[in-house]
Amino acid sequence: MASDELFKRIAAQSADRVKESDAAFAALNGGKVSQEMGEDPELTAIFKRFTYGDIVRQTPKLTEVQRQLLSIAALATKGNYKMLATHVGMALNVGATPLEVRETLYQLAPYIGFGNVYEALNHANSVFTKRGIELPLADQGTVTEENRVEKGSDIQLGIFGDYIRNNRKNSPDDQMHIQVDLAADCFGDFYTRGTLDYKMRELINIVSLDATGGVNEKLTGHIKGSLKVGNDRETIVQAFTAVLPFVGYPKTLEAMACVNKATAAE
């Protein structure tokens, strides 16, 4: 289809986005249709119609739970904690479990640092407490001190293969401990945890790297990893689309360029 014709066809789909955004927003908020307008009602209306109208329509392969978990990942990465708390509530409203929310945040620790994750957890846990959810939540760890390196390395090599082997081969001696840490901590301590599968963990990783920005080599690598664990190009594109309202267009366009690069040989 010619590009101009495709552009016009997609643009025409936005005709009912006010109605669509009201319906989606109500589903996320226990039937409440209107969003608190505050002191900036115009911006709030634009955000609502775009995020809960256009974006929802453009991401049909994602479940609403996935949209909310990915939004939480992007917001935590950006440090937008007040909005993060709102989306934690929305995630619970549409059926996400507290463990899914918590594991989304735990998965971010190797990518945004433990301090940022603790801050995000403070806000998520406040929502849990208000909902009467007992803390701490159930343990999800599956590795031991004795096998975390082996288990993590197996996962790492299984997903990224020669890329990891080459990194280890080319690592200076005084930096090899970082390669061990990647296997033991990033993959051993986190990828092995329960509740979320590899497909969802990789989607969380790529939207976090997208929100971080300036890490295109790593983002391209994790897009390839996301494909390896079973996500297709369409799902990956829609994951980046889902967090567009929270990361902006420059980073989203960079992410789409990484998708194109990662799938060029597919």
This prediction has a pTM of 0.94
Residue 138: pLDDT above 60? yes
The distance of Cα 93 from the centroid of its chain, to the nearest Å, equals 18
Query: In sequence order, which residues have a C-beta less than 8 Å from that of residue 158 and are 6 or more positions away?
Result: none
Q: What is the pLDDT of residue 266?
A: 57
Percent of the chain with pLDDT over 90: 83
Q: What is the pLDDT of residue 13?
A: 74
Longest dimension (CA), the chain: 60
Chain-wide mean pLDDT for the chain?
94
Residue 1: pLDDT above 60? no
pLDDT digits (tens, 9 = 90+) for 203-252: 999 999 999 999 999 999 999 999 999 999 999 999 999 999 999 999 99
More confident residue, 60 or 265: 60
Residue 28: pLDDT above 80? yes
Cβ contacts of 240-243, under 8 Å, gap ≥ 24: 240/206, 240/207, 240/210, 241/55, 241/58, 241/59, 242/55, 242/59, 242/62, 242/66, 242/67, 242/70, 242/71, 242/207, 243/70, 243/71, 243/73, 243/74, 243/207, 243/210, 243/211
Amino acid of residue 108: L
**Secondary structure of residue 138 in the 3-state scheme:** coil
Alpha-carbon distance 102 to 106, whole Å?
6
Mean pLDDT of 195-205: 98
Q: How confident is the model at residue 15 (pLDDT cuts 50, 70, 90)?
A: low
Mean pLDDT of 180-200: 98
Residue 39: pLDDT above 90? no
Q: Is the preceding peptide bond at 136 cis, omega within 30 degrees of 0? A: yes
Mean pLDDT of 35-60: 87
Q: What is the pLDDT of residue 10?
A: 80
Lowest mean pLDDT among 49-58, 96-105, 119-128, 148-157: 49-58
pLDDT digits (tens, 9 = 90+) for 89-136: 999 999 999 999 999 999 999 999 999 999 999 999 999 999 999 999
Asked if 240 contacts 210 with a C-beta cutoff of 8 angstroms, the reply is yes
